[in-house]
Amino acid sequence: MTGRFDAVDIIRAKRDKGTLSAEQIAWTIAAYTQGEIAEEQMAALAMAILLNGMNRAELSAWTQAMIDSGDTLDFSTLKDAAGRPLRTTDKHSTGGVGDKVTLPLAPLVAVFGVAVPQLSGRGLGHTGGTLDKLETIPGWRAEVGTAELMQQLAEVGAVVCAPGSGLAPADKKLYALRDVTGTVDSIPLIASSIMSKKIAEGTSALVLDVKVGSGAFMKDLDSARTLARTMVGLGLDAGVRTVALLTDMDTPLGLTAGNAIEVAEAVEVLAGGGPDDVVQLTVRLAEEMLAAAGITDADPAAALRDGRAMDVWRRMISAQGGDPDAALPAAKEHDVVLAEHDGMLTRLDAMGVGLAAWRLGAGRARKEDAVQGGAGVRLHVKPGQEVRAGQPLMTLLSDTPEAFARARDALDGAVSIVSGAPAPVRKLILDRVDGQSGLVIP
């Protein structure tokens, strides 16, 4: 490794808006992963990339080098219980408030004979983590070895678990560096971080849910569209059928933001009920995932109504040691937020609700922090509904009642009630990006 290239030359090239070769990029990522490039040198390169960008060839090479830094999974030999080849498909969400869609989605897609290896993470900040939610189910475990993963996919059709530490280790190291050097906001680095892990996971098809709005990382449609196009391009370049939906996150998804309360809401969806927006997004993402796997005649909505998805959910939870019938943890204390006057609820800010749930104990500020299983925010109304003065708008849930004041501070200005205002119309699916969408990497 040492001596093939010089880190300072590579930094200078990108600083001066030059183009890096695939060989330079492969050497850089490998040398950094092995400790041959110093942290301050990689920080300088990351800043140069943030300021000057990467073209599509550079970014594809960067992403492949991240994949090559560690292990990859291979599902090409996967077969179902009858010995037939199993197609695989996956979904990734860029994170939002109340986004519990992975929970009903994985078993729903598996109903139709497509395996879903859903490697998920824990929450940090105001967006909840899928593993934090599932870990509120008594007995359920996130850690699944490769052999067990393969067996569960063959027998059940769906797995939601933690990724192995060997997948794209360069990304883990680089992400920690970006977090402390002000380079998190680089779209090329965001896209390569997400896609290196997803491609390393080995699925043959991928659907991206790119959130847009106050409660999302991408606040406006233009930047979200650029990120989506970049990620779709990287997936296609790696031979993975990839499509992205841009979905609204100005308003929380569903009526819950927390951990156990989101699991309960997901189970409602699997039972054929649940909030309309959660059902709509779950069904649409299922349709996209199945189409990406070559199945276009499925009816996911029917599989929610008739209990088939619930059956797979129960087997999926049981296979990882969980008890699907066990009671979920509940918060010890609650505090009800009331409407101050009559009118139409015109806005319920996702960021405000997410921060409130975080301060109540549903999220963490550092990766090592613990979360409260029962903490969160339960919404009683959504924008478009008339409310009366004194009517409950939401209930705050926590084991630590001293957190209620700070949670209410987070909600200051998050709710708008306007007398005589027309009902706002929410468009949940804002755009769709695929290989025909004029992909351009800035």
Asked if residues 70 and 197 have their Cβ atoms less than 8 Å apart, the reply is no
DSSP state of 399: S
By annotation, the residues acting in catalysis are: 92, 171, 178, 193, 197
Q: Which amino acid is at 211?
A: K
Cβ proximity of 29 and 69 under 8 Å: yes
C-alpha distances in Å from residue 212, one per residue of 12, 215, 216, 247: 35, 8, 6, 6
The stretches of 339-441 forming alpha helices (DSSP H) are: 350-357, 404-410
2: left (phi > 0), else alpha (psi -120 to 50), else beta?
A: beta
d(C-alpha 385, C-alpha 15), whole Å: 52
Decide: 162 and 143 in contact? Cβ < 8 Å. Answer: yes
Which residues, listed in sequence order, are joined to residue 211 by a DSSP beta bridge? Answer: 247
Say how far apart CA 427 and CA 244 lie, in whole Å. 16
The number of beta carbons lying within 10 Å of the beta carbon of residue 143 is 10
* Whether 14 contacts 45, CB under 8 Å: yes
- Structural tokens at position 192: 């390569």
For 243, list phi and psi in degrees, rounded to 5: -140, 155
> Nearest Cα to 190, choosing from 214, 171, 213?
171
Q: Which of 319, 318, 383 is nearest to 348 (CA)?
A: 383
| Interaxial angle between packed helices 56-68 and 22-33, expressed in degrees from 0 to 180 and rounded to the nearest 10 | 30
Q: Can you tell me the distance from the alpha carbon of 362 to that of 350, in angstroms, rounded to the nearest whole number?
A: 15
How crowded is residue 413: how many other Cβ atoms within 10 Å of its Cβ?
Answer: 9
The pairing of beta strand 429-433 with beta strand 256-258: unpaired
Which helix H or strand E contains 118, and what residues bound it?
Answer: strand 114-119
Buried b (16+ CB within 10 A) or exposed e, 364-386: beeeeeebbbbbbbbbebbbeee
